[in-house]
Each structure stands twice: as structure tokens, then as C-alpha cells.
Amino acid sequence: MSFRATVLTLYPEMFPGALGLSLAGRALEAGSWSLEPVQIRDFATDRHRTVDDTPAGGGAGMVMRADILAKAIDHSSPPGDVRPRLLMSPRGKPLTQQKVRELAAGPGVVILCGRFEGVDQRVIEARGLEEVSIGDFILSGGEPAALVLLDAVVRLLPGVMGNEASGDEESFENGLLEHPHYTRPPVFEGLEIPAVLTSGNHGKIAKWRREQAERLTAERRPDLLAAARDAGKT
């Protein structure tokens, strides 16, 4: 069974977007995964298709209603659907490569894209939504975050990447940032490819790449390097 992604959104026209191109797009066309955008407004009960209301306790903005969202979730993820239910949210747990791999190994996902000031907490609890964040910043809605998450997941599905080993040394796979890359021409604006990479000595090349990965991680993400050392990965 292929990986099934259902996205609950006020802007279904945003999908597949970039997911219809390149690796993800070819995999979508081949049936390696499926994508179903669901319009949340279809579950509204008034003629204006209202999905939000003023926040309890006062304050700026609007909040997405629990009853409308519950109907959309129940329609898209009925009893027996074992796919995890995610809510893209800046207050969620940070998305990691480990989490991406876990999702890619599963049957798919149901993703709720929030808008306005947020989502009524009661539907988060009542429908078991797992809040996931792609970074410490605010977007206009959850749709761009959902696109990012799905792109990260789909590329790990079986057969999507032409060379399955191509992801083994990528950033975060071994707890480190990825080493620098080089290709032709051998000299670019006076800068040469490091001699070790053209030496043909695979042992030295592997050692150099590891050292460069550790150096970059120490400079840019010392937290990752510390965690990798604690886990015995370096």
C-alpha cells in the first residue's frame, strides 16, 4: 500500500504545489504516494462557510473552531485509520530527520494546517493531534510547513531516490551536518578542489569528509555535535 497523505486546509489549491515536481512529483505520478487536500470550509454549517470565531477571554485575531475541525478530521480519518494526525504549529516539537524517517516508514499522515491565531485546544486534545514545528518562526499558515514535512518524508519512500544510499551521509543522518561538496571544473575563480578528493584514496576521502562534517557542525550547530558525542556517533 502506498503512503497516503491527507491535508486539511483552507487553501487546497496550494497542493501539490512543489510536491508535484521533481522527485516527489514523479513519485506521486507513479503512485508511490497519494495526496488528498481537503477543504475545511466544506464542513462549515452556515452559508458563509465560517470556520473561525473570536477567542475566548478576548484578544486579537480569530481561532479555528473545534466543531468544524472535528468534522473535517472525522471525515478524513475515520475509525480504523492508523495514520498519525499532525497539526503544523510553531509551538510543536521540532521536526527532526528521525521523525521524518518514522513517518516515512508508516502508512501515511493526516495533516491539519492551522490559520488565524490558532486552533481551539479542545479539538487538539479530543482528536489526538500531534503538534509539529519546522522552526522557531511564524508562517501565515500551516500549508508551507506541511509542504516541507511531506517533501522530507516522500524522498525517503522506497524507490523515490534513484540511489538509496544517497541520503546516508546527508545532514542529520549521522548526527552531524554534511561535509562540503565539489565537482568540475577542477579550478573555479582560482579555487581548487581539495587534493584529497582527487587522490583516489577512499580511506583518506572518508576521513576528510568526516573531519569536515565535524568541523562544520562544531562551528554552526555545536548542540548537534554534543548530542552525537553523547550518543557515541563521533
Place of cell 545532514: 171
pTM here is 0.92
Question: What average pLDDT does this structure show over 114-121?
Answer: 96
What does the alpha-carbon distance between residue 8 and residue 39 come to, in Å, rounded to a whole number?
6
Confidence bin at 64 (pLDDT 50/70/90): very high
What does the alpha-carbon distance between residue 62 and residue 38 come to, in Å, rounded to a whole number?
21
What integer pLDDT is reported at residue 7 of this predicted model?
99
Cα-based distances in Å from 228 to 218, 225, 233:
11, 5, 5
Cα-based distances in Å from 42 to 5, 50, 226:
19, 10, 48
Question: What average pLDDT does this structure show over 109-116?
Answer: 97
Mean per-residue pLDDT over the chain, rounded: 94
In terms of residues, how long is the chain?
A: 234
Each residue of 16-25: pLDDT tens digit? Answer: 999 999 999 9
- Cβ 61 vs Cβ 55: under 8 Å: yes
Confidence bin at 63 (pLDDT 50/70/90): very high
Residue of 118, 134, 146, 106 lying closest to 12 (CA atoms)? 146
Cα-based distances in Å from 121 to 39, 130, 206:
20, 12, 49
Spatial neighbors of 157 by CB under 8 A, at least 6 apart, are: 3, 27, 32, 33, 104
Question: What average pLDDT does this structure show over 217-230?
Answer: 89
What does the alpha-carbon distance between residue 204 and residue 208 come to, in Å, rounded to a whole number?
6
Q: How many CB atoms lie within 10 A of CB 171?
A: 16
**Whether the predicted pLDDT of 33 surpasses 70:** yes
What integer pLDDT is reported at residue 163 of this predicted model?
61
The full set of domains in the chain, from first to last, is: 3-154 (3.40.1280.10), 168-230 (1.10.1270.20)
Largest CA distance in the chain: 71
Q: Write the DSSP string, 101-118.
A: HHHHTSSEEEEEE--TTE
